[in-house]
Amino acid sequence: MVSPAMQQKGQVQSPHRVRLLLNPDVLAPIGVGLLMLVAWELAVRLTHTPPYLLPGPILILTTLFQEWPTLLPSWFITMKIAFTALFAATTSGLLVAILFAQSKWIERSFFPYAVLLQTTPIVAIAPLIIIWMGSNTFAALVICAWIVAFFPIVSNTVLGLNSTDPSLVNLFKLNNASRWQTLRYLRLPSSLPYFLAGLRISGGLALIGAVVAEFVAGTGGAQSGLAYQILMAGYNLQIPRMFAALLLITCSGIAVFALLTALSNYLLKNWHASAVRQEN
């Protein structure tokens, strides 16, 4: 027997699930993507483009499944580098941003050097880092990816810490709150949306930095990442295999962004305007 309460609950949940499935934010990009893939496949077939110039989506997916035993270990290596660098960038970036926010003198003195890390081409300094690290190639690749992912965390978090409402800061001072109490209960929560925005940016940059560093290092063997697989496929004119590796990197970047966006919405959903659902 189904109680009236359970029936009412099912009637409430069912339309909600239907709305999620018919959400334009979900359907629109999926529809555009499918149309582009169909147009790509038709263009390749109608123009008889050879696979070594441009493979079609079906051939790329077929190659991905065929080469999965080889690409999967390389994918693990690349993602390990990217997530290690992202964790290091998040931790160090947050600590440095808090340090900068304690004194305008400290921020003015050291912030230009954070900008210097951002503006220095990683391709130019990666060989030097690899030489300095010697045989520890993994650490060198992590450092390269960390350099790329570090600045957005620092920049956005410093902006958030400095954007705290002055009236609330004065209120804390009137109540004799210490610097640590003001930081913990006011400035850090206020800067959370800015920090999470920087984290979403750094997630993709960490993956890009890892791939670029692998290209420069040119590591092979059991510890090779997806960049090495792309290089070898290009040298051997195995273009479908190269596109399969690129597809893995692209899907990984989308998954990282989606994961960090879900984390941001979860942390902000009850109080910040960027994550609170607005009813039409």
Tell me the mean pLDDT in the region 138-162.
93
Higher-scoring residue by pLDDT: 119, 12: 119
Q: pTM for the full model?
A: 0.84
Residues near 152 by beta carbon (within 8 Å), at least 6 away in sequence: 93, 198, 199, 201, 202, 205
53 backbone dihedrals φ, ψ, rounded to 5°:
-100, -50
User: Is the pLDDT confidence value at 2 over 80?
Assistant: no
Q: Report the amino acid identity of residue 231.
A: L
Question: Over the stretch 220-255, which tens digit does the pLDDT of each residue have?
Answer: 555 688 998 998 898 888 999 999 999 999 999 999
User: Is the pLDDT confidence value at 6 over 80?
Assistant: no
User: Is the pLDDT confidence value at 190 over 70?
Assistant: yes
Angstrom distance (rounded) from CA 205 to CA 145: 8
Average pLDDT, the chain: 85
Higher-scoring residue by pLDDT: 7, 109: 109
User: Is the pLDDT confidence value at 218 over 80?
Assistant: no
Residues near 113 by beta carbon (within 8 Å), at least 6 away in sequence: none
Q: Residue with structure tokens 């300094």?
A: 125
Q: Residue with structure tokens 């503006």?
A: 119
pLDDT of residue 12: 45
Angstrom distance (rounded) from CA 269 to CA 263: 10
Q: Residue with structure tokens 């970047």?
A: 253
> What whole-number percentage of the chain has pLDDT above 70?
85
Question: Over the stretch 257-273, which tens digit does the pLDDT of each residue have?
Answer: 999 999 998 888 877 66
CB 247 within 8 A of CB 75: no
| Alpha-carbon dihedral angle through residues 207, 209, 211, 215, given to the nearest 10 degrees | 180
Confidence category of residue 277, pLDDT binned at 50, 70, 90? low
CB 228 within 8 A of CB 218: yes
pLDDT of residue 251: 93
Q: What is the DSSP letter of 34?
A: H
Name all contacts of 261-267 with Cβ < 8 Å and 24+ positions apart.
Answer: 261/200, 263/196, 263/199, 264/193, 264/196, 264/197, 264/199, 264/200, 267/192, 267/196
